[in-house]
Amino acid sequence: MNPVFAGAFAIPCAGAARYLLDEAGWRAVAGEPALRFIAMWADESAVIALLQDATGARVMATVAVEQGFFPGLSLWHPEAAMFERMIRDLWGYNAVGGTDGRPLFDYGHWRLAHPLGRPTPPFAAPEPAITGFAHKGTLALMRGKPARVAARFAARVDGRATVAHAIAYAHAVEAASRTPAPARAERLREIMGTLEIAGGALDRIGRIAEAAGAPVLQGRADRLREALARAAGAAFGHRLMMDCVVPGGVVVDVSADGPGALDALRRSVREAAVPALVEASLGGRLRDLPLVAARLAACVAQVDNGVQELGARLEALPQGAVMQASLVMAGEGIGMADGPSGGILHWLRLEGGHIGGAFILDPAWAASEACAMEVAAAAPEDRAIVRAAHGVLASGMDL
């Protein structure tokens, strides 16, 4: 444990150590170089910062909100500025010493301001929106709903990562209620997650090919993406596997046609020979774009690995139930999963089996700024390719 947390009150949260700090302790955390800032959000009258210590362990620092104010972190951690803007828009808590006063999501168009804090009438729009177009009020819609019902919103944070978000959410609920899903369900989730990542990789290959003007590669990637959606639909009943993963397990076991459909997919991928086609159609074009080339290579590997392993994994599925009901109604937990664009984290608090508070950290938070910077640095004729390789879309961050 980092010494800045010595003597701090520990709040139980499954998946990460969580400490309650006074203002001096919070400032000590802010200035501690061994702690890396990851994200920040709020809960009832408190602000929570998620950090990573030198060992890679996650730790949460909590500070009370006094009269609507809390000590900001953006002076020490510039990445915190976006989260401070979100906290003011959604909860109405102001960061003292915050470096960016602009809104992030709320431009005065909502029915009410500060929907997650003490709602007030909306205010006049200060400037045109550049973020927040896709803000749907997901966290407010989840709050107060039974954990199983709120899963539908977790599955719609980003449709390209619907399985990954549903897994991270389910893991958080299962951690909070100390009731793990059955082994068979966990393995089925992994299979769905791998398929989703392969689908996302095909999607990105198709977009890069489109931006680079490589129609043969684009066509092949799009055809495989369609084949993957069909195989997923045959195996799990939904082409994107949306709502298949819920707290406690999965709602569907693999269908009788599943193994055959997934094996046909594996053969199509092999026959399509994407790696050779990528090299032939884009090898020269990407020589001066090493970041794009690296991202494309990662996508090619994701398609291959994801699909090749499926048969062995289906064979190795443990027998047993795919759903485990939980009787524990209260607790707090963190859950994680890997999605097509990177790691996803869900934090939530259960109250009487309902969602008391939640936050969803999509990779778009970290990627959007990096993407904007890379696109700006690229030559004008390369910008579309750089953007396609990043694949950053708003919904995951806008919540």
Partner 1 sequence: MNALWQAVWHNLFARHPRAVSAARRDMTLLHRDCGSCNGCEIELRLALSIAHDSTRRGLSLASSPQQADTMLVTGPVTHNTQAHLGATWDAMPDPKFVVALGDCAIDGGVFRGSYAVAGGAGSTLPVDLAIRGCPPTARQILDALGGDTTPVS
Binding site for partner 1 (CB under 8 A): 105, 107, 109-112, 115, 119, 129, 132-138, 140-141, 152-153, 156-160, 162, 203, 206, 218-219, 222-223, 225-226, 229, 233, 239-240, 242, 393, 395, 398
- In the bound state with partner 1, the residue whose beta carbon lies nearer, of 84 and 158, is 158
Q: DSSP letter at 34?
A: T
Which pairing describes strands 17-21 and 58-64: parallel, antiparallel, or unpaired? parallel
The structure tokens 């919540």 sit at 399
Q: Are 297 and 389 in contact (CB under 8 A)?
A: no
The structure tokens 């064979």 sit at 315
Does 36 bind ligand SF4 (CB under 6 A)? Our answer is: no
- In the bound state with ligand SF4, the residue whose beta carbon lies nearer, of 97 and 159, is 159
218 binds, among partner 1, ligand SF4, none (CB under 5 to 8 A by kind): partner 1
At position 398, the amino acid (one-letter code) is D
CB of 249 to ligand SF4, least distance (A): 22
Q: Are 208 and 389 in contact (CB under 8 A)?
A: yes
Cα 215 versus chain centre, distance: 31
CB of 206 to partner 1, least distance (A): 7
84 binds, among ligand SF4, partner 1, none (CB under 5 to 8 A by kind): none
The structure tokens 């709502």 sit at 243
Does 144 bind ligand SF4 (CB under 6 A)? Our answer is: no
Q: With CB under 6 A, what is the number of residues at the site for ligand SF4?
A: 2
Among residues 165, 199, 133, 130, the alpha carbon closest in space to that of 391 is found at 199
Does 159 bind ligand SF4 (CB under 6 A)? Our answer is: yes
266 binds, among ligand SF4, partner 1, none (CB under 5 to 8 A by kind): none
Candidate list 27, 58, 156, 239; residue touching ligand SF4; CB under 6 A: 156
CB of 333 to ligand SF4, least distance (A): 25
- Long-range CB pairs of 88-91 (<8 Å, 24+ gap) are 89/113, 89/114, 89/132, 90/42, 90/114, 90/115, 90/116, 90/117, 90/139, 90/140, 91/42, 91/116, 91/117
- Minimal CB distance to ligand SF4: which residue? 156
Residue 361, judged by CB atoms within 10 A of its CB (0-12, 13-18, 19+), counts as buried
Does 239 bind ligand SF4 (CB under 6 A)? Our answer is: no
- In the bound state with partner 1, the residue whose beta carbon lies nearer, of 136 and 270, is 136
Q: Which residues bind ligand SF4 (CB under 6 A)?
A: 156, 159
